């Protein structure tokens, strides 16, 4: 095989996605985890044994949980101002009125109240864009204050119901999708030089094609995506060296004000890590429950052995918490109920994915 052909193959999206673990299909990533999960399910005699881990949330925040309800459990001083727009009545007028009364200003964030992996999360710059978004997406929507803090991370916290103190088991730092100009190359050319950014070109061709032809000045930093989501070009970095007693204490304090919540990842925006550890100058954008992952494992520098050691440990923790809950009379949902919830959620996600493709011409970059 010629060197030219090899180089061409190395630059294809297929090669990039299968060369790097962080881009493997979800079924392939979790293939080694399935026997472990089934082992714990067999021991608990419930397939969805983890559904009682966070009993205050529907299915433990595994399927179909309301982001608004989850946010409402977090102490108010730690979250952005957020409005829930139900899919009823004149929702556009209601949204505009509530927005004006709330004091939230543009730009702002909109997202489905029930969703996953950055699906339909958008930065909205004005009322016209908000009306277009609400018109296109007839589902319950959250309007959220846009937090301008420079940095973002995912902090994974667990606590056993029988214990007062929990612990942080993962810190994943997020490097936003930025490029640095050289004064000569277009945005497209700069993106083509970096494998993870090359995967995003198709999405930009569909949604923001004009920016691809721009030529940033030399050393100009251009942020191409304000949403800190892996599927939109954000890089996840192992930040476990930042775990400390002070950080544990901070999230113990937050979790103490969240009854019946024991497991999940907090997505946090902050300016300085030192301030975050002190409990100031940060906001929790959302909290993900039993379906969440420790995002530091998506750092390419983390060995695959350590990635799976972490995932296996997460399932062991889910089993331990579930078992404690069972001993307290809090039982996991039964299989027929779980199956119904799964099908309802699957159909819901399919419908909004279809709508997303119809609006943008592609489903790339949202799952």
What does the pLDDT look like over 119-168, one tens digit per residue? 889 999 999 999 999 998 989 999 999 999 999 999 999 999 999 999 99
Give yes or no: residues 119 and 59 share one domain. Answer: no
The domain boundary, picked from 131, 146, 161, lies at: 146
- Residue where a domain stops, chosen among 300, 318, 336: 318
Any domain includes 340: no
Share of the chain above pLDDT 90, in %: 64
138 and 157 both lie in a single domain: no
For residues 54 and 86, state if they share a domain: no
Whichever domain contains 87, its CATH number is 3.30.1490.20
pLDDT beyond 90 at 228: no
Residues for the chain: how many in total? 367
pLDDT tens, 91-130?
899 999 999 999 899 999 999 998 877 788 999 999 999 9
**Judgement on whether residues 172 and 262 belong to the same structural domain of the protein:** yes
Is residue 280 in a domain?
yes
Q: Tokens standing for 313?
A: 């440990």
Domain count, the chain: 2
* Encoded tokens for 46: 């419930």
Is residue 208 domain-resident? no
Does 60 share its domain with 86? no
| DSSP conformational letter for 24 | S
Nearest to 325 by CA among 317, 337, 335: 317
171 and 305 co-located in one domain:
yes
* Residue 207 forms part of a structural domain: no
Binned at pLDDT 50, 70 and 90, residue 366 comes out as very low
Per the structure, the complete domain to which residue 251 belongs is given by: 41-65+73-79+149-176+234-318
Per-residue pLDDT band at 354 (split at 50, 70, 90) = low
Q: Whole-prediction pTM value?
A: 0.89
Contacts of 218 (CB under 8 A, 6+ apart): 181, 182, 183
pLDDT at 355: 52
Are residues 248 and 306 located together in one domain of the fold?
yes
Q: Are 154 and 142 within one domain?
A: no
Judgement on whether residues 129 and 56 belong to the same structural domain of the protein? no
Residues 260, 313: one domain? Answer: yes
- 273 and 297 both lie in a single domain: yes
Is there a domain that residue 265 lies in? yes
Domain co-membership, 58 together with 92: no
């Amino acid at each position: 095989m010629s060197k030219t052909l090899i180089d061409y193959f190395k630059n294809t999206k297929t090669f990039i996605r299968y060369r790097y673990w962080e881009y493997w299909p979800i079924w392939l990533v979790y293939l080694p985890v399935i026997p472990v999960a089934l082992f714990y399910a067999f021991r608990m005699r419930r397939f969805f044994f983890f559904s009682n881990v966070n009993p205050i949330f529907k299915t433990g925040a595994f399927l179909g949980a309301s982001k608004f309800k989850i946010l409402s459990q977090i102490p108010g001083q730690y979250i952005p101002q957020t409005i829930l727009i139900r899919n009823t009545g004149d929702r556009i007028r209601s949204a505009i009125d509530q927005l004006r009364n709330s004091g939230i200003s543009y730009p702002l964030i909109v997202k489905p109240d029930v969703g996953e992996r950055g699906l339909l999360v958008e930065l909205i710059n004005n009322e016209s864009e908000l009306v277009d978004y609400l018109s296109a997406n007839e589902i319950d929507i959250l309007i959220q204050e846009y937090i301008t803090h420079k940095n973002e991370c995912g902090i994974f916290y667990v606590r056993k119901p029988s214990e007062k103190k929990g612990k942080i088991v993962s810190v994943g730092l997020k490097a936003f999708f930025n490029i640095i100009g050289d004064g000569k190359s277009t945005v497209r050319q700069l993106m083509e030089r970096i494998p993870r950014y090359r995967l995003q070109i198709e999405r930009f061709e569909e949604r923001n094609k004009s920016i691809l032809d721009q030529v940033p000045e030399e050393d100009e930093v251009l942020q191409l995506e304000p949403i800190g989501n892996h599927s939109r070009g954000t890089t996840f970095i192992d930040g476990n060296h930042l775990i400390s007693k002070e950080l544990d204490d901070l999230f113990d304090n937050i979790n103490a004000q969240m009854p019946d919540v024991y497991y999940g990842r907090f997505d946090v925006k902050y300016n300085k890590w030192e301030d975050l550890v002190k409990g100031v100058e940060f906001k929790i954008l959302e909290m993900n429950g039993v379906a969440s992952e420790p995002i530091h494992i998506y750092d390419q520098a983390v060995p695959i052995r350590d990635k799976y050691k972490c995932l296996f440990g997460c399932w062991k923790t889910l089993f331990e918490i579930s078992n404690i809950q069972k001993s307290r009379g809090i039982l996991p949902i039964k299989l027929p109920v779980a199956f119904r919830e799964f099908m309802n959620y699957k159909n819901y996600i399919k419908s909004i994915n279809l709508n997303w493709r119809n609006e943008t011409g592609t489903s790339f970059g949202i799952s």
